[in-house]
C-alpha cells in the first residue's frame, strides 16, 4: 500500500489558509489531508504525483490537489513553488461546487501554455492572497476566502465548459443542465438518507427513465455511481473517528449494508475501509 500517511493541516487563526512561498523540500512522501492544496510553479521541472498520475509542471503552471486526494512531491528544484492550502469546508458549503465535484476532482493541471488566461487568473489571485496574508488587515480572512471563491468559480466554469459539447450550448441543453444541477443539489442534501433515482426524478419533475438518461449524459456517470461517490467521500471523514465502527460509518454515510459499503469503498479508493482507517488515522 506504499508509504502514504495522513498529514494534519493546522490552519493559523489569521486566515484559515496556509500560504507557503519559502523554501519547500525537494521531495515529500505520498500523503493526504482534508485541505485542498493548489501549487504555483515558479520554475520549470517540478514533478508531483496525485493519485496514480505523475505531473511535470513548468513555470507558470498550476497543480490542483483536492481534499482527501493522495499526493506527493517527486522532485522539485529549490525555491520553485508557491502553494496555498485551504479547508475543504470552503468547497463543501457551496452546493453548486459539490454538485460538479465529479469534474473538479479530476482536474489537476492548469497549463500556462495551453490555458494561459486561466493560469494567469489563478496566479494573480494567489499573489493577492499573499499580499493580504502578509498584511495587518482586520478582514484578512474574509478577503482571502473571497479570493479562493473566485479561483474556484473560475476553475468550475472551465471544467464545465470542457464537459459540454456543441449540442449542449443550445437553449434546450441549458435547460437540461438546470435539471441536473437541481438534482445534484437535492442528492447532496439527502446523501445520507435512503435515496432512490425515482425520488430524485420526481423532485425535478422528470420521469425516472428520462432522468436516468439525462443524468448519465451530463454527468458522464450513472445516478448510482454518483450517489456512491458522495457517500464514500462522507465515509472517509467518518472513518477518522476511532469511536465509530466500520458498520457505524457505513450506515451513517447512507449505505444500506456493510457488504455493499466494503465493495464500493474499495472500488473507488483502492482500499478497504479497514485498510483506509489503519493507513490514514
Residue-wise pLDDT for 136-150, tens only, equals 888 988 999 999 999
The residue among 264 and 30 whose pLDDT is bigger is: 264
In the sheet that holds 62-65, the strands lie side by side as 18-20, 81-87, 35-41, 62-65, 109-110
User: How far does Cα 10 stand from its chain's mean position?
Assistant: 19
- pTM for this entry: 0.77
Q: What percent of the chain has pLDDT over 70?
A: 89
pLDDT for position 47: 95
- pLDDT (mean) for 234-255: 90
- pLDDT (mean) for 175-188: 87
Q: Angle, to 10 degrees, between the axis of helix 197-204 and the axis of helix 208-219?
A: 90
Q: How far apart are alpha carbons 276 and 12 in whole angstroms?
A: 28
pLDDT tops 90 at residue 275: no
- pLDDT (mean) for 155-176: 69
Q: How far apart are alpha carbons 213 and 201 in whole angstroms?
A: 11
Q: How far apart are alpha carbons 4 and 9 in whole angstroms?
A: 15
The residue among 214 and 8 whose pLDDT is bigger is: 214
> pLDDT-based confidence at 14, cuts 50/70/90?
very low
pLDDT for position 280: 63
pLDDT tops 80 at residue 99: no
- pLDDT (mean) for 177-184: 87
**Lowest-pLDDT range, 43-57, 113-127, 131-145?**
131-145
pLDDT for position 199: 96
Q: Would you state the cell numbers that stand for residue 103, as one nine-digit string?
A: 469534474
Amino acid at each position: 500500500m506504499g508509504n502514504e500517511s495522513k498529514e494534519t493541516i493546522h490552519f493559523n487563526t489569521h486566515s484559515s489558509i496556509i500560504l507557503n512561498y519559502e523554501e519547500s523540500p525537494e521531495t515529500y512522501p505520498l500523503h493526504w489531508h482534508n485541505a485542498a492544496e493548489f501549487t504555483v510553479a515558479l520554475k520549470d521541472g517540478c514533478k508531483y504525483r496525485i493519485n496514480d498520475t505523475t505531473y511535470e509542471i513548468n513555470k507558470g503552471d498550476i497543480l490542483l490537489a483536492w481534499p482527501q486526494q493522495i499526493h506527493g512531491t517527486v522532485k522539485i528544484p529549490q525555491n520553485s513553488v508557491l502553494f496555498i492550502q485551504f479547508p475543504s469546508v470552503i468547497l463543501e458549503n457551496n452546493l453548486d461546487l459539490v454538485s460538479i465535484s465529479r469534474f473538479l476532482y479530476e482536474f489537476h493541471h492548469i497549463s500556462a501554455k495551453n490555458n494561459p488566461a486561466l493560469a494567469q487568473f489563478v496566479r494573480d489571485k494567489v499573489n493577492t492572497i499573499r499580499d493580504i496574508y502578509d498584511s495587518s488587515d482586520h478582514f484578512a480572512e474574509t478577503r482571502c476566502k473571497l479570493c479562493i471563491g473566485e479561483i474556484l468559480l473560475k476553475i468550475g466554469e472551465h471544467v464545465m465548459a470542457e464537459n459540454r459539447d456543441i449540442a449542449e450550448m443550445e437553449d434546450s441543453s441549458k435547460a437540461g443542465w438546470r435539471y441536473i444541477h437541481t438534482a445534484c443539489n437535492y442528492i447532496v442534501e439527502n446523501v445520507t438518507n435512503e435515496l432512490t433515482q425515482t425520488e430524485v426524478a420526481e423532485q425535478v419533475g422528470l420521469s425516472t427513465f428520462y432522468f436516468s438518461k439525462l443524468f448519465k449524459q451530463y454527468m458522464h456517470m450513472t445516478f448510482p455511481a454518483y450517489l456512491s461517490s458522495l457517500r464514500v467521500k462522507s465515509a472517509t471523514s467518518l472513518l477518522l473517528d476511532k469511536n465509530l465502527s466500520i458498520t457505524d460509518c457505513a450506515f451513517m454515510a447512507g449505505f444500506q449494508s456493510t457488504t455493499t459499503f466494503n465493495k464500493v469503498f474499495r472500488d473507488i479508493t483502492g482500499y478497504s475501509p479497514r485498510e483506509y482507517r489503519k493507513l490514514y488515522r
